Amino acid sequence: MSIVRNPGIPLDLKHVKGIQINRSALERRAATMGTRRSVKKDYQTAWLLKAITLIDLTTLAGDDTDGRVKRLCAKARNPVRREVLEALGAADLDIKPGAVCVYNNFVGTAVQALAGSGIPVAAVSTGFPAGHTPLGTRLAEIRASVKAGATEIDIVIERHMALNEDWRALYNMVAKCREVCGDAHIKVILGTGELGTLTNVAKASMVSMMAGADFIKTSTGKESVNATLPVSLVMVRMIREYLEMTGYKIGYKPAGGIGDAKTALVYMILMKEELGNGWLEPDLFRIGASSLLSDIERQLEHRATGRYAARHHQPLV
């Protein structure tokens, strides 16, 4: 799937300031996700296999080591056991996650471990998760990640810019990060659980896309509130609005709190209903997760054998 990359557009403050969100109406719509549609039987198997290809398989722990990253990459190469895929008739499919996401220090380790697999390495940069380090330090971190082989960079915004409605500062910051990324795609993490209102989420989404974001992402996974359906609905509707304004397709990445197959399917339904089938591809949709793959594999094994395996039969690392 070939996506024309978003070059960004000049900041339109009049448009940004005019954005308003009807919270009650939006929450009513979000509440219908996963209740009006269900995916069962063979269709569920297909959707779960598709879900694996949308995962940014992630380790962002304080006790990460080269060994842990290597084990995660080994799992990325073989996300579902061969015998399970054969039982499902899916052994010939190229099932692999959308990317492996690690701290900047482990990019080289991940690149080496994934060599030849076609699986991209994503790096969290710019003072993750708070984003309070000096801008020069954050830009240097991006350069280091790209030099080490990361082809995707997940940056965090300074939340105070959105809280203070300093949209020009946010635009300039994202634009500078986008420039330093070069050919590496940039995912802009909004930290939505710390932005106060859904209107702030909508405005920060729009400003980030105007500044050249390839993806907008909900959370670092470290906030007390991470991805939610109302927040996701706001963000994907801003993506649709930006598409109508510019013709450029922007990706979406919910992250944090999506740990089971059922929840992943609800997010996939949201993307299909709001943006269409084109957004059910890893070029435009990722799910940031660390434990989700284990539950999906467990559900697939149940589809293959009729029995649920213990979770420790599908360890990530």
Which of the residues are catalytic? Answer: 154, 217, 253
Amino acid, res. 138: R
Amino acid, res. 292: L
Are 18 and 175 spatial neighbours (Cβ–Cβ below 8 Å)?
no
Report how far Cα 262 is from the mean position of its chain's Cα atoms.
17
Are 243 and 249 spatial neighbours (Cβ–Cβ below 8 Å)?
yes
Residue 221: closest CA among 256, 260, 253 = 256
Are 280 and 36 spatial neighbours (Cβ–Cβ below 8 Å)?
no
Hey, what are 161's tokens?
Answer: 């810019």
Report how far Cα 6 is from the mean position of its chain's Cα atoms.
17
Q: How far are the Cα atoms of 11, 14, 33, 206, 222 from residue 168, in angstroms, in the given order? A: 7, 12, 34, 12, 26
Residue 108: closest CA among 100, 136, 127 = 100
Residue 223: closest CA among 154, 159, 141 = 159
- What is the number of H-type helices and E-type strands within the chain? 13, 8
Report how far Cα 69 is from the mean position of its chain's Cα atoms.
19
Peptide bond into 315 cis (omega under 30): no
CA–CA dist 104, 125 (Å, integer): 7
